[in-house]
């Protein structure tokens, strides 16, 4: 709680914050955990909201039904923001049989061609066209420059087209 109190200027505001903290911390954690289902994420959300409360303590009333509604709403909004940030991209399980260059048997020519791409090209194609990441996000994930991600994407599409045509596919 000391971290929060350092951001507050007057003793009256500190006392108000302490009262809010003691009164609603358990409720805030409960609401966050109920929606998230993960202890650490719930604690992070509660911490973030308490920082916001400390920043705006002058505008917040001491513990009362209105304050209770405010803190629960703040928790709900923060959890929703967290879901939005995570929901931009789906989570995909890594298929171990694709590891080590083993190409699974498949009838689909396009899939066979994608699996024959060099690893970096295959990764960029997968992240961009299947998972929906932007090239800027891909560059960040792979630890490369945006220009290099663009070049890999360009080369990957060209190589994919070549492999597809060689396999008998028509565009």
pLDDT tens-digit map of 85-113:
766 554 554 444 444 444 455 568 888 88
**Over 90: is that where the pLDDT of 156 sits?**
yes
- 171 compared with 99, residue with greater pLDDT: 171
Contacts of 90-97 with CB under 8 Å at 24 or more apart are 90/131, 92/131
Phi, psi values for residue 108, rounded to 5°:
-80, 115
Angle, CA of 61, 50 and 43, to the nearest 5° = 140
Region 45-63 average pLDDT = 90
pLDDT tens-digit map of 3-35:
666 777 788 988 998 999 999 999 999 999 988
Alpha-carbon distance 152 to 117, whole Å?
11
The pLDDT of residue 2: 58
Whole-number Cα distances in Å, 127 to 54, 122, 135:
40, 9, 9
Q: Please state, as a whole number, how many other Cβ atoms lie within 10 Å of the Cβ of residue 71.
A: 24
pTM (2 decimals)?
0.51
Alpha-carbon distance 41 to 38, whole Å?
6
Of the ranges 40-54, 81-95, 116-130, which one carries the lowest mean pLDDT score?
81-95
8 A C-beta contact, residue 14 and residue 5: yes
In 20-158, DSSP assigns E strands to: none
Phi, psi values for residue 128, rounded to 5°:
-80, -50
Angle between helix 65-87 and 39-55 (nearest 10): 120
The pLDDT of residue 111: 82
SS3 at position 140: helix
């Amino acid at each position: 709680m000391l971290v929060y109190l350092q951001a507050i200027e007057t003793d009256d505001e500190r006392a108000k914050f302490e009262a809010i903290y003691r009164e609603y911390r358990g409720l805030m954690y409960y609401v966050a955990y109920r929606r998230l289902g993960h202890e650490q994420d719930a604690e992070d959300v509660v911490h973030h909201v308490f920082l916001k409360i400390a920043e705006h303590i002058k505008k917040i009333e001491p513990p009362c039904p209105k304050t209770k509604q405010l803190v629960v709403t703040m928790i709900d909004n923060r959890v929703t923001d967290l879901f939005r940030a995570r929901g931009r991209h789906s989570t995909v399980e890594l298929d171990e049989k694709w590891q080590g260059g083993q190409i699974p048997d498949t009838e689909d020519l396009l899939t066979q061609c994608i699996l024959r791409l060099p690893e970096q090209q295959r990764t960029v194609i997968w992240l961009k066209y299947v998972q929906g990441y932007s090239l800027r996000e891909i560059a960040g994930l792979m630890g490369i420059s945006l220009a290099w991600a663009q070049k890999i994407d360009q080369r990957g599409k060209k190589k994919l087209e070549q492999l597809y045509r060689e396999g008998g596919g028509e565009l």
